[in-house]
Amino acid sequence: MKGHQDDTTKHEWTKHESFENLDEARLSVFEYIEAFYNRERIHQALGYLTPDQFEAEHAPVVAA
């Protein structure tokens, strides 16, 4: 599955961006993965929900 994730990430993230240096490129990749790919993008393994939606639906209900 890792290969599929890498392919998807490359296609979604690559936008002909240019970077001043390697650190800037690394930060951009990190922000994409953490802010979008891991939080907002739907995932097949989660029943085509975003991780936030999945957590909201499966979080234990705490009584007041």
Report which residue type is found at 20.
E
Q: How far apart are the first and last CA of the chain?
A: 41
Helices and strands, counts by H and E, the chain:
3, 0
Give the model's pLDDT for residue 59. Answer: 83
Which pLDDT tens digit goes with each residue over 15-39? 667 889 999 989 988 888 887 777 7
Q: Virtual CA dihedral for 32, 37, 38, 43, nearest 10 degrees?
A: 180
Mean pLDDT, the chain, rounded, equals 77
* pLDDT grade for 1, boundaries at 50, 70 and 90: very low
